[in-house]
Amino acid sequence: TVWPVCFITSKTSWVVKPWRFTPFICSERSNEHLRPGQYICKSPIINDATQEPENCKDLIAWVECLPAPNISCLLPNGTKYKFSGDEVGFNKSVPCRNVSVYSYKVAVALSLFLGWLGADRFYLGYPALGLLKFCTVGFCGIGSLVDFMLISMQIVGPSDGSDYIVDYYGARLVRLAITNETYRRTQISP
């Protein structure tokens, strides 16, 4: 792998930045070498049915980013390429989710209005629990209330392990977890 140098031009000096580069477009898959404001990324194209980026593969989608004008990259052959602000410089990863046909709005509405009949559990693919809720009238109402809270907090999801379809710019739940593999930074006291 060749690591040429990318420069940010200004009237007074050149700032050297490391950069991976292929002819005429930077192939850097992250933006760690450019500061915010030195590039702009296009919005992903959202699929209307799944509310996820159209090019989502392995829970990652890629969007094109354009470096700001006057950013120059030094190619492996020694020539410099200066961006005008209209060329794609690199691709940035955007997280996406594995979704199927289960809508979050439908699941919450079924749980709220027909949860006592088990319609929410039937919809999410849990027929045994749905039948049990139907026969016990939602566990005398207590089970319906608990299921409504669990579904609205996205703790109970579809039985196939996929995520709910939620509007792309809507209220999504992101679960954070700390495991033994979690990187822990040492705290620096002031």
- pLDDT, one tens digit per residue, over 39-84 is 888 999 999 998 999 999 989 999 998 888 888 766 567 777 788 8
Work out the pLDDT band at 23, boundaries 50, 70, 90: very low
Is residue 45 within 8 A of residue 51, CB to CB? The reply is no
For the entire predicted model, the pTM comes to 0.65
Work out the pLDDT band at 33, boundaries 50, 70, 90: low
Residue by residue, DSSP assigns 58-97 as TTEEEEEEEEPTTEEEE-TTS-EEE--SSS--EEEEEE--
Return the minimum-mean-pLDDT range out of 74-78, 115-119, 127-131, 163-167.
74-78
